[in-house]
Amino acid sequence: MSIDKELVTCRGDESFRKGACHGAEWFVQTSKTLALQGRSAGEITDHLAELAGVLDDWRGQTGNLPDGNPWDWSFKDLSSVIKARGKV
């Protein structure tokens, strides 16, 4: 059975896949950094859950978010977004 369709069929798919790869790398680097700081598995899990929420907001363009990709935001901008999410 031949498949006529390529895995990435449009520019939007390609952009999504690139963003997903960057997001995954962000999670991996954050996990490693927190582990090296001696954070517990629970603390790391909680922080990654916060980042997942930020990604959901960013992907859905909800709320007042800084320009650019979340993994490129400054620590201050990211902290502000996480704090704002906690108030919702």
User: Which three-class secondary structure state does DSSP give residue 28?
Assistant: helix
Separation CA 47–CA 49 (nearest Å): 5
pTM comes to 0.78
Quickly state the pLDDT bin for 9 (edges 50, 70, 90). Answer: low
Q: What is the pLDDT of residues 41-61, one digit of tens each?
A: 999 999 999 999 999 999 898
Alpha-carbon distance of 33 to 17, in angstroms, equals: 24
What is the largest distance, in Å, between two alpha-carbon atoms of the chain?
52
* Residue 17 contacts residue 8 (beta carbons within 8 Å): yes
- Kindly list the domain boundaries of the chain, sorted by start residue: 11-86
